[in-house]
Amino acid sequence: MSDTETLVRGILDGDRISVSRAISVIENDLYSDRALRILEGINPRTGNAHVIGITGPPGVGKSTLIGAMVPRIAVDDRKVAVVAIDASSPFSKGSILGNRIRMQESLTRHGIFMRSLSSRGLSGGLSFSALGTIKILDAAGFDTIILETVGSGQADLDVMLLASTIVVVLAPGLGDEIQAIKAGIMEIAHIFVVNKLDREGAFQAIKDIEDVLATASQGEWKVPVIGVSASNGDGLDDLNSAIGKHAEYQARHRDRRSSVRMELNLIVESEIMKALRNAIEEDSRVTGIIDDVSSGARDPFQGSRMIMGALSQRIAGKK
Amino acid sequence: MFKDKPVKVLLAKPGIDGHDRGMFVLARAFRDAGMDVLYAGLLPTPQEVVDTAVNEDVDVIALSLLNGAHLTAFKKVSDLLRKKGIDDIAIVGGGTIPDTDKPKLEKLGISGNYGPGTPLSVIIDHVTKRATESRKKKMGSG
């Protein structure tokens, strides 16, 4: 339908079909020349969007909250995009991308661009396609990009690091409010939200989180805990102003070098993983090693050491 | 062809029709067949269906209606898609569609048009076939 240059021009003009197609190119093959040419072409126009990460355990109401927040964010002609990441089945690799339904009305009314990405179980690949997607939306002139992930596991945490303001959403009655924030999310959250404020235990949950925060060392930014009810609108203005404050704080403290380093790390890591995976798949010796371990002739640790040996030979040989 | 990015399909009922049980059955079946499945939710307008399909860049839109409005509502979706100049997103149909209406839908490029009792495997095969055509067109554009 269109060549790479037309696609790049379309993105820069904010054409949604081009944006959508370009994201597909990134999703289809992360490392194809075409994907890299698109990213190269749009790069000068990136770096302006504010990326808000929304994460939290399943069922706390992240999608509903985004749907309720969008009208508050999409004011003064601000263009908003939503990127939602859903887990795919490890068995069939298929997925049901359901986040849209809970915000559809809001999306339509405010002309929001929304794209769902499914996680293919490969953390590096996911972060890379999320990064590429954000860059495309950024270059297309979206002022705010909301990135939603299910806050479980390292892959999702890595994706969250692409956001400049990270909002962790919890709800009362899950029984794991505190466990959830201990599992590594604590350190990255800029704002905590307790959704479903109308439910029993909400205020206790807020207090519990504040207690945990009080014992942690915090920098200049004091992490707020905000109670909201996405369904009846309580607290949403407070959340919006906290996000705004954090965006200002970020703008003052932005360290270009460190975010560039983070980005480079992410890209290099995912390329290494891809190269290693290919090398392992292609290497004929690996099949023999798997046979040996299956038959009990070797233990898995010996086996993996042999695979590592084969890999380093390949890498050395390629030079 | 679908190794890195599986078939992506949007399920939608573009009209006043709340019978979504069948959609849920299809959503599960498509997912288990390895597809990425989106469901447009209840009562989307044809415009919403097309906007979603474009934003998400799906391979196939699978429409279903049990209220007899398929000739108008399916056509609306097909027209809106064409108006955007998109020819690489396929449309398939299903629901309670009389045999006499099927050729009319086919003429619009809306294929399948399966009725109640159709085995899931038949529907999955058809969606996969149409998705393959779409993906070929999309990849050919590079």
pLDDT tens digit string along B35-84?
A: 999 998 888 999 999 999 999 999 999 999 999 999 999 999 999 999 99
**Residue B142 pLDDT level (bands cut at 50, 70, 90):** very low
pLDDT of amino acid B123: 98
Partner residue opposite B6 with nearest CB, options A94, A96, A98 = A94
Helix pair A284-295, A256-282: axis angle to 10 deg: 70
- In this prediction the pTM is 0.86
- The answer to whether the Cβ–Cβ distance between A21 and B34 falls below 8 Å is no
Return the amino acid letter for A4. Answer: T
DSSP SS3 for B129: helix
pLDDT tens digit string along A241-251?
A: 999 999 999 88
- The answer to whether the Cβ–Cβ distance between A16 and B52 falls below 8 Å is no
Residue of A nearest to B55 (CA): A20
Alpha-helical runs (H) found in A161-235: 177-180, 186-188, 202-215
Partner residue opposite A23 with nearest CB, options B57, B84, B87 = B57
How far apart CA A52 and CA B24 sit, in angstroms, is 31
Which single residue is written with the structure tokens 């509903």?
A64
Partner residue opposite A16 with nearest CB, options B37, B40, B55 = B55
Quote the minimal CA–CA distance from A146 to chain B in Å.
15
Beta strands in B2-139 (DSSP E): 8-12, 36-39, 60-65, 90-95, 110-114
pLDDT of amino acid B13: 95
Domain boundary assignment for chain A = 45-254, 264-318
pLDDT of amino acid A136: 97
How far apart CA A90 and CA A96 sit, in angstroms, is 13
pLDDT of amino acid A1: 45
Helix pair A300-318, A256-282: axis angle to 10 deg: 110
Tell me, which fold does domain B8-139 have in CATH?
Answer: Rossmann fold (3.40.50)
Helix pair A16-28, B46-56: axis angle to 10 deg: 40
Residue of A nearest to B54 (CA): A17
Question: Which residues in chain A land under pLDDT 70?
Answer: 1-2, 30-31, 87-93, 120-125, 151-155, 175-184, 317-319
Tell me, which fold does domain A45-254 have in CATH?
Answer: Rossmann fold (3.40.50)
Quote the minimal CA–CA distance from A115 to chain B in Å.
5
pLDDT of amino acid A302: 93
pLDDT tens digit string along A145-171?
A: 999 987 666 667 778 888 999 999 988
Nearest to A99 by CA among A89, A113, A85: A85
